[in-house]
Amino acid sequence: MNLNRIIFIVFIGVLSSFLSIKAQTRNVITLDSDWKFTKGNPLNASEIDFDDNSWETVSVPHDWAIYGPFDKEVDKQVIAIEQNGEKVATEKTGRTGALPHVGQAWYRKEFTIPEYENGKKVILTFDGAMSEPKVFLNGKKVGEWNFGYNYFYFDITEYLSEDKTNTLAIQLTNKEKSSRWYPGAGLYRKVQIIVKNRESIDHWGTFITTPQISSSLAKVNIKTKVTGENIRIETQIFDNDNNQVASANSDIKFGNEFDQNIAVSNPNLWSPENPYLYTAVTKLYSNDELKDEKTTRFGIREIKFEPNLGFSLNGEVRKFKGVCLHHDLGPIGTAINKSALRRQLRILKDMGADAIRSSHNMPSIEQLELCDEMGFMFLAESFDEWAVPKVENGYNRFFETDAEKDVVNLIHATRNHPCIVMWSSGNEVPDQWGTEGVKRAKWLQEIFHREDPTRPVTVGMDQVQATMQSGFGALMDVPGLNYRLHLYEEAYERFPQGFILGSETASTVSSRGVYKFPVEKGAMKQYDDFQSSSYDLEYCSWSNVPDDDFVLQDDKPWVIGEFVWTGFDYLGEPTPYDEMWPSRSSYFGINDLAGLPKDRFYLYRSRWNTEDETLHILPHWNWKGREGETTPVFVYTNYDSAELFVNGKSQGIQRKHNTTPQNRYRLMWMDVKYEPGTLKVVAYDKNGIKASEKEIKTAGKPHKIVLTPDRSELSADGKDLSFVTVSVVDRKGNTCPTATQQLKFEVKGVGTFEAACNGDATSLEQFHLPTMKLFSGKLVVLVKSGKETGEIQLKVKGKGLKSAQTTIKSIKN
């Protein structure tokens, strides 16, 4: 027998042994394709023999409501929004996005479990289901869960069919007046089946912490809950390059838990600037037979919240540069898509943000995975309501019975993510008033402490005077103030913690590319076109403009950072137009619903992104009919001074100064008279030397469409997305900022058209139809990969415009 033959036989033997070992441990099956879906309440839909041939076939994650149409009558609410200071009830028509999320629906799927053997344990897991899911398997009810944002699971071993073909059915119910924003609808997050041995690591049974860290050594504590007797555990730790750096074995259980302390030499610490991840591989043996294997990513990092010093990460004091995010992804709704989430985070990273607050809901696992990888600290929030309602059919119905198990699941499902540095037990809950609210706050905080002693707890408090009087604010680990800038000083003096967090800030409103005159600072301003001015001086009755927060963040060391409302526009809550149809999405975003940056993006970037140059001019310079009229010009830049020119004529040099918050952070020329042509800004460094320049020109008639994909290569997985920005230029290539043409989209090749969005909060065009109007000269088209490799072609055309085409490759990774 020759040497090559011997090597081949040995290789096959090792491979067979490896496959056998893997088969003995666990199998994770994602139920993502070929689901049957119907809206309504068909009789006995849970029964295995129900005829679902007429039902729609969908993939999960799935949001049934995002396809519309928009309808004024959907979830119309006559209500006074107390959080906004309203005293009189009025009709709110777009509060939950005006999309058809209300009602009941069913999902059904047939599945088999390959190589299933008696004696195995089978777990059915949901990352979220909107809402009030009731779960049936083979005609029998397995269980139910009330909170639509929560992760939950069931042991379905005893419900499995003997002939191996199983029918899973889920009933979902969304009630009217159950949300303050668009909640989505359906199985909008991942559904999985886990097949494992009886002797195994419990679901969410691993808890990794790093209680002691120095430059030379880190103590990694791993607690592992297991099921089984006469078992031992082995854990190996690998660095980011897959090199083993530590290991430990144990056969000593404390109850049903192993507790291992493992030393890692010269640890690479996780931070937003260095999101370094380790991997723990835990193996469970019974009589030297491998029974289970679980892989957990984690980071080594140290967090502290200290009086007067504030927040520190790995021994360095820093302030949160954070944004709040609702869970919808604009034109694709709430259905989780990792590439859409990654795009959001790339945009925020470029702005200089380093933190996310999941508001006001439990985050998706995919979002946390990306924050681990890309470097974002995370404030993971639980509830928008406790026992006292904000909306009639909100979480208040379940608080007393479900709050503890919902919090436990939140913590157990997510606690190994190093990005999470803080928990939030609530947002602007009406329970801030009175002694019962204090008791609830203490009860919830103690649950968080019991399940995770390593992270502090906050609440987004808007009733700050009440919390100062009742003791509510004093008991929180981290006192979070939503707005109420005038109370920061008093709260700092009266609360014992020694620091204040801006848990929700700004709520400035604007519409991308829309500018209103005269340019004035003001609250709750409204216009006939239902848009808000992008001069970034308009806000809500309870809120403020960004510069007011900047002053406190920069001047008060005991203010430990902010989470701006919001990073992106979201569906629902169209303040200040929530009484005015057809407004149906928010104006709060630093980026619009399509993910296109508003002017405000560059104001935050000029302060937060300390590595890259920011030099941004507003407004656009197409103002036919305003010739000779005062048209103020703002420049957002990280330079201290700049000179403005209109058609070569200097308008003077402006320098940042402390006269007002706006003068401190913006360069403003308030008396510029509009004339068509070229607007140019020249920025100077601290020595008065020219450092950079930028110009914008008055555009002519729209002539040609321009396509700019954010990614030119996609994974051929049937899920990956490219976001293609569509704009229009004149014959000289100047962007046309006021273009509103209707465009049509065509996708050919190995991909599909997924959706389009223009960022207009008043648009009633449906996202999934291949046509849409430009808004302020732009829109975004989403192209999705198929499961084949090759090319995807997107063609965009519009009447009177030169069409454009771009090619995106679909590749195997």
pLDDT at 374: 98
Q: How many other CB atoms are there within 10 angstroms of residue 565's CB atom?
A: 26
Residue position matching structure tokens 């014992």: 496
Q: Convert the pLDDT of each residue in 723-767 to its tens digit.
A: 999 999 999 999 999 999 999 999 999 999 999 999 999 999 999
Q: Among 379, 391, 331, which Cα is nearest to 584's?
A: 331
DSSP bridge partners of 381:
424
Domains of the chain, first to last: 27-65+101-197 (2.60.120.260), 201-298 (2.60.40.10), 305-507+542-588 (3.20.20.80), 704-811 (2.60.40.10)
Pair of tokens at residue 349:
């990273």
CB 127 within 8 A of CB 190: yes
Q: How many other CB atoms are there within 10 angstroms of residue 449's CB atom?
A: 15
Average pLDDT for 107-129: 92
Question: Which long-range contacts (C-beta less than 8 Å, at least 24 apart) are formed by 589-592?
Answer: 590/323, 590/351, 590/564, 590/566, 591/347, 591/567, 592/511, 592/512, 592/568, 592/759
pLDDT at 389: 96
Distance (Å) of CA 116 to CA 17, 126, 199? 19, 21, 16
Q: Which of the residue ranges 73-87, 204-218, 402-416 would you say has the lowest mean pLDDT?
A: 73-87
Question: Which long-range contacts (C-beta less than 8 Å, at least 24 apart) are formed by 622-626?
Answer: 622/698, 622/699, 622/736, 622/737, 622/738, 623/674, 623/676, 624/676, 626/517, 626/674
pLDDT at 771: 98
Q: What is the rounded distance in angstroms from the CA atom of residue 140 to the CA atom of residue 436?
A: 40
- Relative to beta strand 166-174, strand 134-137 is antiparallel
Pair of tokens at residue 467:
């919390």
- The proportion of the chain whose per-residue pLDDT surpasses 90, expressed as a percent, equals 91
Task: Say which DSSP state 254 is in.
Answer: B
Q: What is the rounded distance in angstroms from the CA atom of residue 576 to the CA atom of residue 98?
A: 16
Q: What is the rounded distance in angstroms from the CA atom of residue 567 to the CA atom of residue 547?
A: 16
Average pLDDT for 611-634: 98
Average pLDDT for 139-155: 97
Distance (Å) of CA 130 to CA 199, 312, 413? 33, 37, 18
Average pLDDT for 390-419: 98
Q: Convert the pLDDT of each residue in 464-523 to its tens digit.
A: 999 999 999 999 999 999 999 999 999 999 999 999 999 999 999 999 999 999 999 999
> In the structure, what pLDDT confidence band is assigned to residue 88 with cuts at 50, 70 and 90?
confident
pLDDT at 92: 85
pLDDT of 48 higher than 80: no
Q: How many other CB atoms are there within 10 angstroms of residue 90's CB atom?
A: 12
Distance (Å) of CA 592 to CA 512, 585, 721? 7, 10, 18
pLDDT of 2 higher than 70: no
Q: How many other CB atoms are there within 10 angstroms of residue 313's CB atom?
A: 19
pLDDT at 24: 61
pLDDT at 781: 98
Q: Kindly report the backbone phi and psi dihedral angles of residue 487, in degrees, each rounded to the nearest multiple of 5, phi listed first.
A: -105, 0
pLDDT at 86: 78
CB 736 within 8 A of CB 728: yes
Q: Convert the pLDDT of each residue in 632-679 to its tens digit.
A: 999 999 999 999 999 999 999 999 999 999 999 999 999 999 999 999
Chain-wide mean pLDDT for the chain?
95
Coil, strand or helix at 37: strand
Q: Kindly report the backbone phi and psi dihedral angles of residue 586, in degrees, each rounded to the nearest multiple of 5, phi listed first.
A: -75, 165
- Cβ neighbors of 26 (< 8 A, separation 6 or more) are 194, 195, 196, 197, 200, 292, 293, 294
pLDDT of 42 higher than 80: no
Distance (Å) of CA 778 to CA 68, 344, 372, 463? 22, 18, 32, 40
CB 125 within 8 A of CB 203: yes
- Relative to beta strand 778-785, strand 721-729 is antiparallel
Average pLDDT for 570-585: 96
Claim: this prediction has a pTM higher than 0.85 = yes
- The proportion of the chain whose per-residue pLDDT surpasses 70, expressed as a percent, equals 97
pLDDT at 8: 35
**Catalytic residue list:** 428, 504
pLDDT at 79: 80
